[in-house]
Structure 1
Amino acid sequence: MPTLIRPFGALLLLLLLCPLAFAQPLPGVIASLAERAPWSDPLEALGTLSADESVTLSATVTKTVAEINFADGEQVERGRLLIRLEDGEEQALLRAAEALSAERANVLGRVSQLQDRNLAARADVEDRQAQLDQARAQAQAQQARLANYRIRAPFSGRVGFREVSVGTLVTPGTALVTLDKLDVMKLDFSVPEVFLGRLSPGLALSATSVAFPDEVFSGEIATLGTRIDPVTRNIEVRALIDNPGLRLRPGLLMEVIVQQRLRDTVVVPEAALEPSGDRHYVMVVHEEGDDHRLEQRSVMIGERRHGEVEVLEGLDEGELVVVHGLQLARDGLAVRLLGVMDDHTGVREILEAHR
């Protein structure tokens, strides 16, 4: 019997003298830095695009189409001749008016020479001058009428499908082609009247469309409507959005997010929050020499966005909060800090580095 007691006593003595030999390793956590960043409250709405400038060019006279100088969908510059109507008769009338002006100018010159030698009355010179002015006015009027036979681009933009062919007889009001200025787009949407006080021209917004699901288009509010709809209690808002590559088209439905109430605030990853009833907590990591210890702290949060949360009270900029390992985290617990997550290093990279 004493032979059995000696090994057992030796084992007990070893446990008493070397408790660290069987100590469990400290739980590992991954933290993130509480940072101060720009923040806004998103206001979501649906809007419809329209061109910055848009017009349907039409005829103002009854004539046949003599010339078409554009291709469907072509980008054209302001003042470019797009369509010419048959204008032979008008050109002849213009030449006749210009010839009459030249004739009366010659007559005025001869009468003026005679008047200089006192061989003609002053009244004759004045009559000839009036006749010349009348002829010139008739030539200018004919020149203006001739412009109706030439359809030019009133601004730079992209033409649509042409609706006529050479030889087509057109009448006043006949649609010839559409022209849209697409480098900047107008985005019209409505929001409830309760947000009126938070909106102002110049406020930034972003817009997305199912046509381009992986791209976000940026813009800003240009104008607020002057009236509130008495039925829907909404106010109309117009924004301007840049259209790189001219891919957006008038009539496209857009999902709009207005960035209202711009401010700087403390931001942490949403994964750092521990909800409990109507309160929220975070685990703050404190450095104590070579060790790290946790502190459970109550925080007041604001808005959330894309995996981030705004912290209004309870946390300062620059503090570390646990984002991975919260299952074992307790107030006052000593932990092993595996790493700090940032824009370039995620949880997966940190865990793989400690395997």
Structure 2
Amino acid sequence: MSLPVRRRLLLKLALVPFGLLLTQVAFSQSAPSVIGTRAEMTTWSDPLEALGTLSADESVTLSTTVTEIVSEINFQDGEQVDEGQLLIRLEDAEEQAQLRASQALREERRNASNRATQLQDRNLAARADVEDSQSRLRQAEADIQAIEAQLANYQIEAPFSGRVGFRNISVGALVTPGTDLVTLDKLDVMKLDFSVPEVFLGRLAPGLMLNATTAAFPDDIFSGEIATIGTRVDPVTRSINVRAELDNSDGRLRPGMLMEVVVQQHVRDTIVIPEAAIEPSGDRHFVMLIEQSDGTTRLARREVAIGERRNGEVEILEGLAADELIVVHGLQLARDGQEARLIGITDDEKGIRELLEADR
């Protein structure tokens, strides 16, 4: 074989891979593989984040106003008690004896008053004697009421339904006024107190929904709503206090917990798409629509106006309607007007990774 012929053959063989590469590039440019997703109409809000502390809906530390010995304890640590339930009784034998003496005196004076009234009806007693006997009867009744009021101090009852704390006293212990006997907390509803900068005051209102999380239950979100907004702005921190209420019917939350709060302000229904579907160009933003007709899948570039962003999602203000199909994966090779191969559409069960693995 002559040298020129051999050179031409080698040149042709060298051009074969290059030609195959050009063919592959041309094919990839003409029909890129893409994954689509649908624009969703969903409820959206501008989150306002803060840190808050929990407190019980009602909370009290029970104590006594007298000095006496504990004679009876009717609760266990952490027990749920009802309003009016007797929790602690103090020794009251002396006061009970005084009550019985006063009751006997009242009965005696009542009888005397009745006799005086009967005699006066028959004109055998002066009216002044009747009035004196009735006055002494009223005095005896007042003495009984005073003793009964004193006896109430010897019985510690639950002022509301709730859960008691640890019992730190025993029967026979001597307690004095102001001694902490037991704590009582109403935990079915929790108060969540937090502060926000005053610039957000105009966006807050009672009834505004919020979500809260705590390190104790990292996988759970607790929902609630703003109940009260403070009446004063702190002149030092320029913040205002806000109180929300959280349902705690399962009893998992405890007073003193630190919670991360996200207030859902400016709640609205809007179009939302994955942030990965946005193609920025300067200060403009585009999406690549997937149009399907007569068995053909074609791409169309469209400009959109975006709003807020959060957690890999973006709000669409203009340019896109609900349920329109757009490219979420494969934008690098996608061109306006091209035909494309649609690998699949993401949903709640299948993401981009699952669709790519299924396409292998």
How does the TM-score come out when normalised to structure 1? 0.90
Distance in 2 (alpha carbons) for counterparts of 1:312 and 1:60:
65
Cα offset, 1:261, TM superposition: 0.5
Distance in 2 (alpha carbons) for counterparts of 1:247 and 1:92:
47
For 1:54, give the aligned amino acid: S
Distance in 1 (alpha carbons) for counterparts of 2:86 and 2:52:
35
Q: Does 1:47 align with 2:52?
A: yes
Deviates more, 1:275-284 or 1:240-249: 275-284
Cα offset, 1:57, TM superposition: 0.5
SS of the counterpart of 2:244? strand
Look up the match of 2:325.
320
Look up the match of 1:269.
274
Deviates more, 1:271-280 or 1:141-150: 271-280
Cα offset, 1:219, TM superposition: 0.5
Distance in 2 (alpha carbons) for counterparts of 1:273 and 1:244:
43
Cα offset, 1:353, TM superposition: 4.5
Look up the match of 2:34.
29
SS of the counterpart of 1:175? coil
What count of residue pairs does the alignment treat as equivalent?
Answer: 338
Look up the match of 1:95.
100
Look up the match of 1:292.
297
Q: Does 1:330 align with 2:341?
A: no
For 2:157, give the aligned amino acid: R
Cα offset, 1:281, TM superposition: 1.7
Deviates more, 1:232-241 or 1:154-163: 154-163
Distance in 1 (alpha carbons) for counterparts of 2:213 and 2:236:
28
For 1:136, give the aligned amino acid: E
Deviates more, 1:228-237 or 1:112-121: 112-121
SS of the counterpart of 1:323? strand
SS of the counterpart of 1:108? helix
What are structure 2's unaligned runs of at least 5 residues? 1-22
The match for 1:257 among 258, 262, 272 is: 262
- 1:177-233 CA distances to partner (integer Å, 9 max, x unpaired)? 111111111100000000000000000000001111111100000000000001110
Look up the match of 1:7.
none
Deviates more, 1:329-338 or 1:213-222: 329-338
The match for 2:196 among 191, 197, 215 is: 191
The match for 1:167 among 134, 152, 172 is: 172
Distance in 1 (alpha carbons) for counterparts of 2:346 and 2:213:
29
Look up the match of 1:243.
248
SS of the counterpart of 2:228? strand
Cα offset, 1:327, TM superposition: 2.3
Distance in 2 (alpha carbons) for counterparts of 1:95 and 1:277:
93
For 2:96, give the aligned amino acid: Q
SS of the counterpart of 1:264? strand
Distance in 1 (alpha carbons) for counterparts of 2:249 and 2:345:
38
Aligned ranges 1:81-120 → 2 under 5 Å: 81-120=86-125
Distance in 2 (alpha carbons) for counterparts of 1:278 and 1:165:
74
The match for 1:309 among 287, 310, 314 is: 314
Distance in 2 (alpha carbons) for counterparts of 1:275 and 1:142:
83
For 1:232, give the aligned amino acid: T
Deviates more, 1:194-203 or 1:281-290: 281-290
Deviates more, 1:194-203 or 1:339-348: 339-348
Aligned ranges 1:119-134 → 2 under 5 Å: 119-134=124-139
Q: Does 1:282 align with 2:282?
A: no
Look up the match of 2:9.
none
Distance in 2 (alpha carbons) for counterparts of 1:159 and 1:262:
39
Q: Does 1:158 align with 2:163?
A: yes
Distance in 1 (alpha carbons) for counterparts of 2:311 and 2:84:
48
Q: What is the aligned-residue identity percentage? A: 70
SS of the counterpart of 2:344? strand
For 1:333, give the aligned amino acid: Q
Distance in 1 (alpha carbons) for counterparts of 2:342 and 2:130:
105
Distance in 2 (alpha carbons) for counterparts of 1:173 and 1:192:
39
Look up the match of 1:16.
none
SS of the counterpart of 2:181? strand
Aligned ranges 1:192-211 → 2 under 5 Å: 192-211=197-216
For 1:193, give the aligned amino acid: E
What are structure 1's unaligned runs of at least 5 residues? 1-19
- 1:322-351 CA distances to partner (integer Å, 9 max, x unpaired)? 112222211111112233222233334434
Deviates more, 1:275-284 or 1:204-213: 275-284
For 1:173, give the aligned amino acid: G
For 1:90, give the aligned amino acid: E
- 1:88-141 CA distances to partner (integer Å, 9 max, x unpaired)? 101111111111111111111112222222222222222211111111111011
Cα offset, 1:24, TM superposition: 4.0
For 1:189, give the aligned amino acid: F
SS of the counterpart of 1:334? coil
Q: Does 1:67 align with 2:38?
A: no
